[in-house]
Structure 1
């Protein structure tokens, strides 16, 4: 393949590392099952209650353990063997997925039981993900981190396409319990991959068990790194104001005449943003050659905000032109997904390459709180906003706030926009 063409497609050099390759392949298997649960939980909540408020409330029940265990889990990852942490938390995720299956098989209609189980799952996830991200720079050369992050996001988002499509079609046919059971089984692929990792003791790890002081030290360190701090701020702006996923069940049912417990429109809405991310990932070779990463992040988040505004406007016009507006709405979500993929690849690489290994777990803990917590705040905000002004206005208004917010942030901290790295000639 000519060099100019190969730069256009995804950079696969990180897959030459056999540990990264095993984790990546296991992720292909696991992520589909995980996305089935991601779709099944809000679908079950909406089917049981008929209200977006309870779907949005899942954001609160997911956010609290994400914040607590994301921060403390990052501190754990800066002291203990990271391989051991990955093994323990993966087993925890398997157990909680099995409990999701059990409550669905028992025909549970208690919303609070489902929400509490979701909180437990998010606690294990919050410890697992910072640890997994902190491991990556120990396996991959710094110049390949954007490519590795793009490959990981592409797999994650590919599963996020397949998961909603499968779940949306099959939930009305075979029920929620099968979605959770598939997730439980596929998690064993990741367990096998992490068991084969070498020991990953932290370089210059602090002695003793981590406490609140270790978490505070991570924030003190972050305060001295304005570029890294702003990478969190702009992502919060994008996700808190611009992620309308809590509205998807109601939009599918009310605006596009889908059933109240799934259906093809429901599946397409959930799959559209990941589809855009996969398209962006397939053609992500360019991310390894961008030097002005701060400016690239700002542009990507601006595109995300414009796309979410367009999505809300399409929903508003669905009463008059349902089918054309469904196409426009899905297209806007796809564009937003591609922009978000590129933004995340740059922000992850900034964090992984700039942080010391002894601080990497804690900063990744903050990262997972922001990346996973932001959308959960958005779930709550959008659910409440939709009850007040309707789904279309909530989605479109959020997109406008993203654009305004990222412009203000760029003006306030111009060093973030100016941030750049120097690539090697290779």
Structure 2
């Protein structure tokens, strides 16, 4: 089962976990409410689609800039500041929804600003995680964080739908404001987290240096490329409405298609205790990503609805295993002074792939059919992942016990733990890595 040690040993990890889970829940409520309100006001699918377009550029720009900020300023301060900004922006959505005539332009403007602030927030949270748990507790901490995220992804839209049906967009935004306010208070309770040696001042040059560092390490490059290949070639979500209605001829299955992958991911994380005993992380990422593709292809071939759901659940489980081990590599090998910038790069790597994958899936489906799009994408994913592993042999051979970056970080964090234990004897609630 999932390793619960970080919950018992780290007060700051407990605060991060609860704050992150509450944030995801509220964010998913707004994620449902914002396009719902926009469609209700305009009656246009194009207008709803344009919301994603105006959110994309802030996501890219502030994801990278937020990483640079996380490598210079106290990460607790960044978390508190960006969360308060999210509270203020969501409150503006609430006020706009309460007007006799809500303004459509406000939804676009605030949506873009929320995308920017959220993108700036996430690198600091991800960069702080390795600081609040011991090096050997990272697999369990990452699994628990994933459970919190998946809980929000699974329950948030359902809660949002119920609120919208009963109280409308005003109440949906109000729930998010309350949740974000709770998260802000929890972040205030964290201990200060200044960057080691003052960090690198935010700049374009610093961002470029982070990109060069990531590209120069083939173990890190493998984590990015494998995920983008897998998501670009085998992302079927955009086809679910057509798959349920036109292929399976059971439109009532649409909700289950969306939730099957998340259910598989939850099972994978809830049974992830074995991950701490694995050392060849690159191989697990490759195998799991290939299994994601093959399970997706099998779902596209299956004719029985229950079998389709089983294969999509298996695909979700495989994707989560791949994600967990990618995160372990990131958090156990990246130096603290670069952790924020690389967290921004990571966020882009797992955001761009799915967006491109939806375009690919739609184009192939229109030209050759829904089943062909899903099956061909899954098969090509497996082939592409294997080809990438053959190209990046260092990634396939990665061993956490001997990798120079993993050994350096492990020794450095053990030394910090030793110094902290000598300075604060008996203070088991104080995390040794938060120097």
Same fold (TM over 0.5): yes
C-alpha spacing 1:128/1:54, structure 2 compared with 1 (3 Å)? same
Alignment of 1:278 onto 2:266: yes
Gaps of at least 5 residues in structure 1 are 1-8, 318-323
Alignment of 1:413 onto 2:405: no
Aligned CA-pair RMSD:
3.1
| 1:268-307 mapped onto 2 (5 Å cutoff) | 268-307=256-295
| More off after superposition, 106-115 vs 167-176 | 106-115
Offset at 1:77? 0.8
Name the structure 2 match of 1:6: none
Offset at 1:56? 6.1
SS at match of 1:204: helix
Name the structure 1 match of 2:227: 235
Offset at 1:69? 0.8
C-alpha spacing 1:279/1:220, structure 2 compared with 1 (3 Å)? same
Count of equivalent residues: 401
* Conserved 8 A contact 1:162-1:271: no
TM-score by length of 1: 0.83
Paired with 1:183 and 1:330, the residues of 2 have a C-alpha distance of: 31
Alignment of 1:17 onto 2:10: yes
* Conserved 8 A contact 2:267-2:317: yes
Paired with 1:290 and 1:107, the residues of 2 have a C-alpha distance of: 58
* Conserved 8 A contact 1:43-1:249: no
TM-score by length of 2: 0.82
C-alpha spacing 1:97/1:405, structure 2 compared with 1 (3 Å)? farther
* Conserved 8 A contact 2:298-2:375: yes
Name the structure 2 match of 1:148: 141
| 1:202-351 mapped onto 2 (5 Å cutoff) | 202-206=195-199, 209-249=201-241, 251=243, 265-314=253-302, 324-325=304-305, 327-351=306-330
| More off after superposition, 365-374 vs 160-169 | 160-169
Gaps of at least 5 residues in structure 2 are 403-409, 411-435
* Conserved 8 A contact 1:59-1:380: no
Offset at 1:113? 5.7
Structure whose CA Rg is larger: 2
* Conserved 8 A contact 1:97-1:180: yes
Offset at 1:247? 3.6
C-alpha spacing 1:184/1:128, structure 2 compared with 1 (3 Å)? same
User: Relative contact order (C-alpha < 8 Å, sep 6+): which is higher?
Assistant: 1
SS at match of 1:296: helix
SS at match of 1:200: coil
